[in-house]
Amino acid sequence: MSELRTLGEFIVEKQHDFPHASGELSSLLASIRLAAKIVNREINKAGLVDITGATGVDNIQGEEQQKLDAYANDKFKAALEARDQVCGVASEEEDEAVAFNKELNKNAKYVVLMDPLDGSTNIDVNVSVGTIFSIYRRVSEVGTPPTEEDFLQPGNKQVAAGYVIYGSSTMLVYTTGNGVNGFTYDPSLGTFCLSHENMTIPQDGRIYSINEGNYVRFPTGVKKYIKFCQENVPEDNRPYTSRYIGSLVADFHRNLLKGGIYLYPRTESHPKGKLRLLYECNPMAFLIEQAGGIATDGNQRIMDIKPTELHQRVPLFIGSTNMVKTVHRFLEQYPDEE
Ligand code: AHM
Ligand code: MG
């Protein structure tokens, strides 16, 4: 790891990748970096102060909101609103998209979509959680409030996406469409330092990540794929291994480094899958493609799906290219009646 290259410097160094947006995107990423540090500080105190547990409020999707969910949402929103690049955000924790109305945000060109604290049910048990973000250029006219159209763009229009993983160390991993780079937080310096340059995912992997508790409710093709992993040995002669943390960010991060596949298919209780297209699937799909992998809903490329609603859910198959392709073969071979 090079302590000599900080995230801030790296962003500025790379800003020529954006001829029409040089300083703006850099400043936007700086607000995400700042909010990540604040949330990281708070997460590290979990257990010491009264910040774990539920708020007693459910979010729009009927899921119990955790105190840190609400905290992270507020901090990311505030950091983005405090600068003049973002005209509005959509968040997993907000019912509707939020338009920033301050004079400062009037001429902003970007919208941000985020899952401020992914995997938050893991906080109380000291397991890794994360923040996922996705950045788009608005399509509506600058100077007017953002519209639904700005937030419902397909993933292939993302200009940047990334995540922060609050794990055994805290990392920020992002892409602006020119590869994926990872930065590890050094708390003694208060700085993210470049630690994982130009991250790529192996084409083949050995890890499959899926909530097998839902096995009987999976589509037949997915069941067959799981059996395939259990009964076969990859060419390198080391058997497949099952790893599931239940924090998408953490499962994704491990698979990105080691090679693997993460699957969240439709189930009886979640007939469209559980994960949200805009806050979770699209940003992760952008990252995985930039790292040389693929992401689909079992049928089509995640980033080509035209969103119809903010909190839309889709099945997700994401990771090493050859593993996702193998799942597809099983899904085609064993189609279920819908
Ligand atoms: P969340 O955004 O409400 O935390 O839900 C998303 C999480 C993912 O991080 C994780 O992979 C998945 O839900 C786990 O779901 P399940 O418990 O159904 O396996
Ligand atoms: Mg989530």
Query: What is the per-residue pLDDT for 135?
Result: 97
């050995």: which residue's tokens?
Answer: 206
Domain end, chosen from 143, 171, 196, is at 196
Distance, CA 92 to ligand 2 centroid (Å)? 7
Question: Domain check: are 173 and 241 in the same one?
Answer: no
Query: What is the per-residue pLDDT for 222?
Result: 98
Question: Domain check: are 41 and 148 in the same one?
Answer: yes
Q: Is residue 82 part of a domain?
A: yes
Residues with CB under 6 A from ligand 1: 63, 92, 115, 118-120, 211, 246-248, 251, 274
Q: Is residue 240 part of a domain?
A: yes
Question: Domain check: are 63 and 123 in the same one?
Answer: yes
Taking CA atoms only, the protein residue closest to ligand 1 atom 12 is 246
For residues 36 and 72, what is the distance between their CA atoms, to the nearest angstrom? 9
Atom of ligand 1 minimally distant from the CA of 61 = 3
Q: Residue 304: which of 327, 287, 282 has the closest Cα?
A: 282
Assign residue 292 a region: left if phi > 0, alpha if psi is -120 to 50, beta otherwise?
left
Domain end, chosen from 196, 221, 246, is at 196
For residues 312 and 164, what is the distance between their CA atoms, to the nearest angstrom? 22
Question: Domain check: are 151 and 252 in the same one?
Answer: no
- Which residues pair with residue 46 across a beta bridge? 49
Question: Domain check: are 242 and 322 in the same one?
Answer: yes
Question: Domain check: are 95 and 244 in the same one?
Answer: no
Query: Can you read off the two tokens belonging to residue 54?
Result: 């539920």
Question: Domain check: are 225 and 175 in the same one?
Answer: no
């085609």: which residue's tokens?
Answer: 332
Question: Domain check: are 213 and 126 in the same one?
Answer: no
Q: What does the radius of gyration of the chain's CA atoms come to, in whole angstroms?
A: 19
Q: Is residue 31 part of a domain?
A: yes
- The DSSP code for 167 is S
Q: Residue 115: which of 224, 276, 288 has the closest Cα?
A: 276
Q: Is residue 190 part of a domain?
A: yes
């997915």: which residue's tokens?
Answer: 222
Atom of ligand 1 minimally distant from the CA of 120 = 4
Query: What is the per-residue pLDDT for 126?
Result: 87
The alpha carbon of 164 is separated from its chain's Cα centroid by a whole number of angstroms, namely: 9
What is the CATH classification number for the domain harbouring 178? 3.30.540.10
Taking CA atoms only, the protein residue closest to ligand 1 atom 14 is 246
Domain end, chosen from 196, 228, 252, is at 196
Query: Can you read off the two tokens belonging to residue 278?
Result: 């805009």
Question: Domain check: are 314 and 236 in the same one?
Answer: yes
Q: Is residue 228 part of a domain?
A: yes
Query: What is the per-residue pLDDT for 22?
Result: 63
Best mutation site among 164, 211, 248, 313 for ligand 1, i.e. most ligand atoms within 8 A of its Cβ?
248
**pLDDT per residue rounded down to tens, the chain (338 residues):** 555 889 989 988 887 776 666 688 888 999 999 999 999 998 888 666 666 666 666 666 666 666 888 999 999 999 999 988 999 999 999 999 999 987 778 789 999 999 999 998 888 888 999 999 999 999 999 999 999 999 999 999 999 999 999 999 999 999 999 999 999 999 999 999 999 999 999 999 999 999 999 999 999 999 999 999 999 998 888 899 999 999 999 999 999 999 999 999 999 889 999 999 999 999 999 999 999 999 999 999 999 999 999 999 999 999 999 999 999 999 999 998 66
Question: Domain check: are 96 and 229 in the same one?
Answer: no
Q: Is residue 97 part of a domain?
A: yes
Residues in Cβ contact with 34 at an 8 Å cutoff, skipping those fewer than 6 apart: 79
- Which residues pair with residue 131 across a beta bridge? 164
Q: Is residue 201 part of a domain?
A: no
Question: Domain check: are 143 and 261 in the same one?
Answer: no
What is the CATH classification number for the domain harbouring 230? 3.40.190.80
Its domain, for residue 243, covers 207-333
φ, ψ (nearest 5 deg) of residue 279: -95, -25
Instruction: Judge whether 195 and 1 are in contact, CB under 8 Å.
Output: yes
Q: Is residue 202 part of a domain?
A: no
Instruction: Judge whether 89 and 97 are in contact, CB under 8 Å.
Output: yes
φ, ψ (nearest 5 deg) of residue 214: -95, 10
Question: Domain check: are 88 and 21 in the same one?
Answer: yes
Instruction: Specify the number of domains making up the chain.
Output: 2
